[in-house]
Structure 1
Amino acid sequence: MKTFKRGLLALSCMMFASTSALAAAPTGRANPRLMGTRAIVACDAVEKSCGVASISFPAGISGLVPYGRPDVAIATMFYPSVDDAEAVLARVDAGNTAQQAVDYVFSVDPYADYRQLAVVKLKPDGTITVGQQTGAENAPQRCAVKGATFVVQANNQTTSTICAAMATGFQTATGSLPQRLLASLKAGAAVGRDNNGERSGVIRVWTSENESTFYTKVLADAVVHTSRTALKDLDVEMNRYQAGIAAPYASDLIPLDAETAKVVKNALTKAGYYTGVVDGTWNDAAEQALYDFNWNNLFFLKPTVVVNGQRKIDRPLVNSLRDADPKAFLHGAE
């Protein structure tokens, strides 16, 4: 697959090729059979974060599809292009809306017919613009949905209804942006998948607001390669990262009901932090065990909190405790 020189896209007066140059796909040594994926790109003005969630067949999509930073997220697909992604960044930094940036890049990219590009831009005033284009030579069963704060796009899927399902899943989900992106992927899986199967995926979110930005602007990062349970693995890895690195969001708090209390107590018992009865109640001993676990494993302490008379706990933390190997939380030599 050919690439064009960096920097040329910045020359708005230059066109790269005639229509005849688009007659054949730029295969080069790339394998077109593996092209195809689905993704959601979104920003959150309150959280001041942007991110991408994508799942597909081949390993390596974590380095191909997502591109971004706290104020803009990009998914470059089918024949992905880092040059297109960087050109989009240059255009939005120059004042373009997301759609204007996408339209410009498609106008100068000689392989635009083989691209699928989604961009969401969070402006300093809190407004969000979205942009998307799909080239005419993209894989069959392609689709795209643009919302006020997100774009869903897909190609080479078992059904073109997958974009609508992912959009609805995102809009109806609750919690922080990483949690809603994950919910969108799950909603898509309920109606379809990549024609090649779904074995690899990535969820990556950047932020400028969370307390964790003292250490990193990556709010969530989950990568899975070549797994028959890729979506489930993404769920585990994303919650593990968000629980361990990010400061908690109020939107991620869930009620500490009896079933959740049992899950947390059971995990804390197996990890060696709790020695009491594993039941649906919550007491000082359980809270102390949770604190000790927090102190030994997390960047930010995540105790339970009482909100309007109801005790709550961080959802990514609960999910991480539920899915993790308890021995991985033990300090010291094996």
Structure 2
Amino acid sequence: MKSFKRGLLAVSSLMLASTSAFAAAPGPINPRLLGTRAIVACDAVEKSCGVASISFPAGISGLVPYGRPDVAVATMFYPSVDDAEAAIARTDAGDTAQAAVDYVFSVDPYADYRQLAVVKLKPDGTITVGQQTGAQNTPQRCAVKGATFVVQANNQTTAEMCNAMAAGFQRAKGSLPQRLLASLKLGARVGQDNNGERSGVIRVWTSENESTFYTKVLADAVVHSSRTALKDLDVEMNRYQAGIAAPYAADLIPLSAETAKTVKGALSKAGYYTGVVDGIWNDAAEQALSDFNWATLFFLKPTVVVDGQRKIDGPLVNFLRDADPKALVPGGE
């Protein structure tokens, strides 16, 4: 995709006038590989923004998502880093997300081949959303704008993809990364990329979580060329969020007998727990979880009692459920 350096410089310096100073187009690309679905969203309470996307070709993690804690962008079909950066610059200058998208499309000579979504979290906590799809996109394209999110897709097996993803996001519970993942999963129930879905990315930035002392990346999952890309994204995102991010109250789940057995079983296989693997949570299990926390996680995630009910971090449970037990032991072979 084309480098629009002079056009970007004009936008980044906050010039409001239109410009046609874009460089010439690059050599031909392979249009057969184009096709992507994504959701872009921000959360005013968590002070986070992010993108979840799944497609066929490897490398979409470097093509589709751009952002930081107060803005997220998905640039698709013929993606453009300069369009993404220009849209971010316009929102920094005070434009709404839609005004930023509209401006970028007005100065981009290849706008007909773009699909661009922007969601902006403003300092006062309000969120604006923007989206455009060029006329030369594939017939099976769609877009849905919500109050805090945008879903867009192209070259899909059904244009119902966007409605399914939007519904999945709105119904989902938990932190923003968990809700973005849920949106991708609900979309997969109605269709997929016409080429198949082999690669994906979920990336969320935040300014609120305790982990921001170290990094503003709240969640980061990337999968390339896998026949089980969506499942792999689930595993990788929970692995990252459980290991690096401080816990969210919204991600706490009841420590049911089934969950207790799952956690105790994983801790037993990894060598932290030596008792009976059943659904009864006891002091030995809590100590094993504590030992695992100290050996493995950036932020400690013990069980907690909320309104008389014992709960545990959901991403941590998913992490333990899917992990290779040998990988949970420091220095293990």
Confirm or deny: 8 A CA contact 1:176 1:251 kept in the other structure. yes
Confirm or deny: 8 A CA contact 1:2 1:28 kept in the other structure. no
Q: Does the residue aligned with 1:201 lie in a helix, a strand or coil?
A: strand
Superposed CA offset, 1:141-181 (max 9, x none)? 00000000000000000000000000000000000000000
Confirm or deny: 8 A CA contact 1:9 1:108 kept in the other structure. no
Aligned residues: 329
Confirm or deny: 8 A CA contact 2:10 2:19 kept in the other structure. no
Task: Identify the residue that residue 3 of structure 2 maps to in structure 1.
Answer: 3
Superposed CA offset, 1:10-38 (max 9, x none)? 543234289xxxxxx95723211111100
Q: Match for 1:130: what amino acid?
A: V
Is 1:14 paired with 2:18?
yes
Unmatched 5+ stretches in structure 1? 19-24
Cα 1:79/1:70, change in 2 over 3 Å: same
Tell me whether 229-238 or 85-94 shows the greater mean CA deviation: 85-94
Q: Match for 1:216: what amino acid?
A: T
Q: Does the residue aligned with 1:238 lie in a helix, a strand or coil?
A: helix
Paired with 2:217 and 2:61, the residues of 1 have a C-alpha distance of: 14
**1:333 Cα shift?**
5.1
Q: Match for 2:252: what amino acid?
A: L
Superposed CA offset, 1:94-152 (max 9, x none)? 00000000000000000000000000000011000000000000112000000000000
The runs of 4+ residues in structure 1 deviating greater than 6 Å are none
Q: How does 1:14-33 map to 2 (within 5 A)?
A: 14-16=18-20, 28-33=27-32
Task: Identify the residue that residue 76 of structure 2 maps to in structure 1.
Answer: 77
TM-score normalised by structure 1 residue count: 0.96
Confirm or deny: 8 A CA contact 2:200 2:229 kept in the other structure. yes
Paired with 2:106 and 2:183, the residues of 1 have a C-alpha distance of: 30
Task: Identify the residue that residue 114 of structure 2 maps to in structure 1.
Answer: 115
Confirm or deny: 8 A CA contact 2:65 2:72 kept in the other structure. yes
Task: Identify the residue that residue 223 of structure 2 maps to in structure 1.
Answer: 224
Paired with 1:254 and 1:26, the residues of 2 have a C-alpha distance of: 51
TM-score normalised by structure 2 residue count: 0.96
Paired with 1:289 and 1:271, the residues of 2 have a C-alpha distance of: 10
Paired with 2:47 and 2:21, the residues of 1 have a C-alpha distance of: 38
Paired with 1:194 and 1:27, the residues of 2 have a C-alpha distance of: 25
Q: Match for 2:132: what amino acid?
A: Q
CA RMSD of aligned residues (A): 1.6
Q: How does 1:78-227 map to 2 (within 5 A)?
A: 78-227=77-226
Q: Match for 2:84: what amino acid?
A: A
Paired with 1:14 and 1:204, the residues of 2 have a C-alpha distance of: 32
Q: Match for 1:112: what amino acid?
A: A
Q: Does the residue aligned with 1:236 lie in a helix, a strand or coil?
A: helix
Paired with 2:2 and 2:181, the residues of 1 have a C-alpha distance of: 33
Q: Match for 2:56: what amino acid?
A: F
Confirm or deny: 8 A CA contact 2:143 2:153 kept in the other structure. yes
Q: Match for 2:250: what amino acid?
A: S
Superposed CA offset, 1:231-275 (max 9, x none)? 000000000000000000000000000100010000000000000
Paired with 2:157 and 2:297, the residues of 1 have a C-alpha distance of: 40
Confirm or deny: 8 A CA contact 1:37 1:157 kept in the other structure. yes
Q: Does the residue aligned with 1:129 lie in a helix, a strand or coil?
A: strand
Identity of aligned residues (%): 84
Paired with 2:31 and 2:145, the residues of 1 have a C-alpha distance of: 26
Q: Match for 1:69: what amino acid?
A: R
Paired with 1:70 and 1:7, the residues of 2 have a C-alpha distance of: 23
Paired with 1:222 and 1:2, the residues of 2 have a C-alpha distance of: 26
Q: Does the residue aligned with 1:7 lie in a helix, a strand or coil?
A: helix
Q: Match for 1:223: what amino acid?
A: V
Paired with 1:41 and 1:312, the residues of 2 have a C-alpha distance of: 30
